[in-house]
Amino acid sequence: MISKEDSPTTTRAPEGGARVPKGKRRAGDVIFAGGAQGSGILILAILAGVAAFLVIQSFDSLMANTANFFTTSEWDPNVREEPAFGVAALAFGTVLAAAIALLIATPVAIGIALFIVYYAPRRVAAVLGYVVDLLAAIPSVVYGLWGIGWLVVELGPFYQILEEYLGFIPLFAGPISTTGRTMLSAGIVLAVMILPIITAMSRDVFQQVPQAHREAALALGATRWEMIRMAVIPFGRPGIIGGAMLGLGRALGETMAVAMILSPSLVISWFLLQSGNQTIAAHIALQYPEATGYGVSALIAAGLVLFAITLVVNMAARFVVSRRKEFS
Amino acid sequence: MTTPTRQTSAGAPGGGATPSPTGGLLLSRSLPRFFEPALLLVLAAVVGGALFLTGLFNVPLLAVVTLLAYMVTITIASAVVENGRKAKDRLVTAVVYACFALAMVPLVSLLWTVIVNGLQRLDGYFLTVSMNGVTPSMDAGGVYHAIIGTLMITGLAAVISIPIGLMTAIYLVEYGRGRLKQAITFFVDVMTGIPSIVAGLFVVALWMMVFGPGKTNGAAGAIALSVLMIPVVVRSCEEMLRLVPNELREASYALGVPKWLTILKVVLPTAIAGITTGIMLALARVIGETAPLILTAGSSAVAINWNLFNGQMMSLPVFIYSQVRMGNAINYERAWAAALTLIVIVMLLFFVARLVSRFFAPKLGR
């Protein structure tokens, strides 16, 4: 933190006839400070505006909706006289895809962060930091293209093995989709996409583990893994959780990869290897170009639900991360 | 730090040698240093041979089976020769290395597939013609209109976001205090998590109120991108401004320079390299955004459009998406080539940003 200079324009020695009168406000200062503060307030206004406009524009369709918005799976906003639509299946798909992504990405991300901070040689570690950042810089639409053009094909045999040996678990029950455009594929691509953010957060917090803690563990004869388990993980847990929740927020809102990979249907299905399910974000992207009448307003209502979910997740994540700052 | 009394065979790297009370040696037995790589090579050869004989040979299977076999054997070997704790340590080391290798798979395969597939179609012709008058299955057309759209929309987004973001960062570092500062800091963080499609919907809702329904143009896309870009700019600029040492500000105040001029002439020039880097990374992030542009700038433009305020505007990410939606072989070829173009642009921004921060870093020391 930088200590604030309260009134730099005041002169320190008033006696002896100060040339600059005490406490004079220069026009430049007033304008500049006002502009800076105004920008800050504008950001708050934009965020409030996002919420406000979504609420206002979704109002029409929600009023006209004849079905329960939260428990219905169908999406028929343009049936004359009685539009019926709901986000039940969409919300389920959104959470399911994000959960798959989180389950895959978190352990791997922790492993990478540990590798970068404690296992890799220092020179290599610096380069690896860039490489992980690079993974974050690749546009989501390219991930989608890669997912549908390469990953889905490569995963085919793997899915067959999964169905053959784990098919008794309902999650992996067949018949498997021949195209591979399934929930599991979408979840895997999402996992790759949120890997960098979880890795970055975990890496930051691992680097902040006090050296005294680590050396104390090693001095007591701990192996490297015991040192990590006893000194690093307890210290880093809030950072890992915060990072995972930020990743979750991103996975919930990710649009293109899901829209391009998943072959959608508006059902609530637990079968990860069959086509089906859909997420809110992908549904909006796919439906919007053809939406008319109440359609647009209904999609905005779905967007409002997504906004609310991600807002809660992100605020919780920030809360967890900022609490760590207070204690360390 | 312990000082080993006797240097025998090398212990596990970094693990530290554990003195054992039993046995004649002060250092416990440990596997030789070359054991791990040697074991890995031997196992790879054995597994490779076995797979080859059974006719199941392929590279991913070889890697997975070898890795699993390695984890099992190293744990057993270490448990027999060393002790249970070291065995666990070696197992975790293997797992951590495996995690890292696993993460390299998508990156390498993604870059590889994009480059290989993209180069088939990426040439001067592809970059300099639009899709105007090209029927979907024609072996022609390019991304000129999309490149122009991307540059113009992102440019306008930058023009909107940079002043707001930078001024907010200045407020947070130089002026802000109390509740307002806390609120802005918190909500900027929250804003970085807004899904891009929601930013698009926000502009759709706004445009519907102001201009009526169904109006799409480049400016709408730029505003949606600004919503995503502003928080990133604020965060990176804020970090950079905080790095400027307070002594510089105080020296300036001591010379009677007003605060706003101090910020303008002392603080900003000191931090300019970092700020530039942050802004370029923010640009690299939003230049690949697709979802908000589908909603706001349209997804069916085929002609060159230089006007941000009138008519649909194509952009590279949306071009990729809409080509994939059409689904023919020719469309995929165009999509891959456009993806390569987009990645090259993003990587350029990324590396130039890194170079700027490396070579023009603020000279904090003397």
Residue at B72 is within a domain = yes
Q: CB neighbours (10 Å) of residue B303?
A: 12
Residue bearing the bigger pLDDT, B69 or B12: B69
pLDDT band at B146 (very low <50, low <70, confident <90, very high): very high
Q: Please give the tally of structural domains in chain B.
A: 2
How close, in Å, is residue B365 to chain A by CA atoms?
18
Scan residues 11-30 of A and list those with Cβ closer than 8 Å to B: 20, 26, 28-29
Rounded to whole angstroms, the Cα distance separating A165 from B109 reads 27
Lowest-pLDDT range, A5-14, A246-255, A311-320, B193-202?
A5-14
| pLDDT tens-place string over residues A81-118 | 778 888 899 999 999 999 999 999 999 999 999 999 99
B77 inside 8 A of chain A by CB: no
Q: B330 and B201 share a domain?
A: yes
Q: What is the pLDDT of residue A315?
A: 86
Residue at A17 is within a domain = no
Q: B334 and B251 share a domain?
A: yes
Q: B94 and B151 share a domain?
A: no
pLDDT band at B353 (very low <50, low <70, confident <90, very high): confident
pLDDT band at A280 (very low <50, low <70, confident <90, very high): very high
Q: What is the pLDDT of residue A19?
A: 55
| pLDDT tens-place string over residues B73-105 | 888 888 888 888 888 898 999 999 999 888 888
- The residue among B118, B152, B175 that closes a domain is B118
How close, in Å, is residue A255 to chain B by CA atoms?
6
| Domain of residue A169, residue span | 84-327
C-alpha distances (whole Å) from B330 to each of A168, B140, B301 are 41, 9, 18
Tell me: pLDDT of A3 over 70: no
CB contacts of A281 in chain B (<8 Å) are 195, 197, 291
Mean local confidence (pLDDT), B114-139: 86
Q: What is the pLDDT of residue B10?
A: 42
pLDDT band at A326 (very low <50, low <70, confident <90, very high): low
A285 to B259: CB separation less than 8 angstroms, yes or no: no
From B83, which residue of chain A is nearest by alpha-carbon distance?
A223
Choose the closest CB to B193 out of A2, A131, A310: A310
Rounded to whole angstroms, the Cα distance separating B280 from B299 reads 26
Tell me: pLDDT of A272 over 70: yes
Q: What is the pLDDT of residue B228?
A: 94
Q: What is the pLDDT of residue A324?
A: 60
Residue at A58 is within a domain = no
- B11, with CB counted inside 10 A (0-12, 13-18, 19+), is buried
Choose the closest CB to B291 out of A36, A115, A256: A256
Choose the closest CB to B320 out of A141, A250, A285: A141
Residue A277 sits in a domain whose CATH number is 1.10.3720.10
Q: B208 and B90 share a domain?
A: no
**What is chain A's mean pLDDT, rounded?**
84
Residue at B135 is within a domain = yes
Rounded to whole angstroms, the Cα distance separating B348 from B356 reads 12
Q: What is the pLDDT of residue A131?
A: 83
Residue at A302 is within a domain = yes
Q: B186 and B211 share a domain?
A: yes
Rounded to whole angstroms, the Cα distance separating A53 from A297 reads 11
Residue at B20 is within a domain = no
Q: What is the pLDDT of residue B20?
A: 45
A211 inside 8 A of chain B by CB: no
Q: What is the pLDDT of residue A251?
A: 92
How many Cα atoms within 13 Å fall on the side-chain side of residue A141?
33
Q: B150 and B73 share a domain?
A: no
The DSSP 8-state label assigned to residue B17 in this structure reads P
Residue at A274 is within a domain = yes
| Domain of residue B150, residue span | 128-360
Residue at B2 is within a domain = no
CB contacts of A299 in chain B (<8 Å) are 201
Mean local confidence (pLDDT), B167-181: 92
Q: B281 and B329 share a domain?
A: yes
CB contacts of B300 in chain A (<8 Å) are 289
Q: B38 and B59 share a domain?
A: yes
Q: B69 and B203 share a domain?
A: no
Tell me: pLDDT of B58 over 80: no
Rounded to whole angstroms, the Cα distance separating A128 from A119 reads 12
Q: What is the pLDDT of residue B208?
A: 86
**Contact call for residues B331 and B319 (beta carbons, < 8 A):** no
B96 to A253: CB separation less than 8 angstroms, yes or no: no
CB contacts of B256 in chain A (<8 Å) are 20
From A188, which residue of chain B is nearest by alpha-carbon distance?
B106
Q: Which helix (H) or strand (E) holds B353?
A: helix B329-359
How many residues belong to chain B?
Answer: 366
Q: What is the pLDDT of residue B319?
A: 94
Q: What is the pLDDT of residue B203?
A: 93
- The residue among B118, B148, B180 that closes a domain is B118
Beta bridge partners of A84: A76
Residue at A48 is within a domain = no
Q: B192 and B237 share a domain?
A: yes
Q: What is the pLDDT of residue B142?
A: 87
Exposure string for B176-208, b = 16+ CB within 10 A, e = fewer:
beeebbeebbebbbbbbbbbbbbbbbbbbbbbb
How close, in Å, is residue A80 to chain B by CA atoms?
19
Rounded to whole angstroms, the Cα distance separating A153 from A179 reads 8
| pLDDT tens-place string over residues A189-238 | 999 999 998 998 899 889 889 999 999 999 998 999 999 999 999 888 88
Tell me: pLDDT of B155 over 90: yes
- The residue among B56, B90, B118 that closes a domain is B118
| pLDDT tens-place string over residues A55-87 | 998 888 888 888 888 888 888 887 777 788 888
Rounded to whole angstroms, the Cα distance separating A244 from A101 reads 10
| pLDDT tens-place string over residues B291-330 | 999 999 888 888 888 888 888 899 999 999 999 988 888 8
Distance of alpha carbon A15 from its chain centroid, rounded?
Answer: 59
How close, in Å, is residue B216 to chain A by CA atoms?
11
pLDDT band at A22 (very low <50, low <70, confident <90, very high): low
Residue at B4 is within a domain = no
Backbone phi, then psi, for B181, in 5-degree steps?
-65, -45
Instruction: Give pTM, 2 decimals.
Output: 0.85
Residue at B25 is within a domain = no
Lowest-pLDDT range, A162-166, B6-10, B28-32, B163-167?
B6-10
Q: Which helix (H) or strand (E) holds A318?
A: helix A294-327
| pLDDT tens-place string over residues A161-196 | 888 888 788 778 777 777 878 889 999 999 999 999
Q: B184 and B109 share a domain?
A: no
**Contact call for residues B208 and A80 (beta carbons, < 8 A):** no
Q: What is the pLDDT of residue B36?
A: 82
CB contacts of B16 in chain A (<8 Å) are 218, 221-223
Choose the closest CB to B288 out of A139, A150, A225: A139
**Contact call for residues B184 and A44 (beta carbons, < 8 A):** yes
Residue B346 sits in a domain whose CATH number is 1.10.3720.10
From B326, which residue of chain A is nearest by alpha-carbon distance?
A260
Mean local confidence (pLDDT), B16-25: 47
Residue at B7 is within a domain = no
Residue at A27 is within a domain = no
How close, in Å, is residue A271 to chain B by CA atoms?
25
**Contact call for residues B275 and B244 (beta carbons, < 8 A):** no
Q: What is the pLDDT of residue A51?
A: 92
B294 to A44: CB separation less than 8 angstroms, yes or no: no
Residue at B164 is within a domain = yes
Mean local confidence (pLDDT), B240-254: 92
| pLDDT tens-place string over residues A117-146 | 999 888 888 888 888 888 888 999 999 999
Tell me: pLDDT of B239 over 80: yes
Q: B185 and B325 share a domain?
A: yes
Q: Please give the tally of structural domains in chain A.
A: 1
Determine what percent of chain B is predicted with pLDDT higher than 70: 90
Q: What is the pLDDT of residue B17?
A: 46
Rounded to whole angstroms, the Cα distance separating A62 from B221 reads 26
Rounded to whole angstroms, the Cα distance separating B342 from B336 reads 10
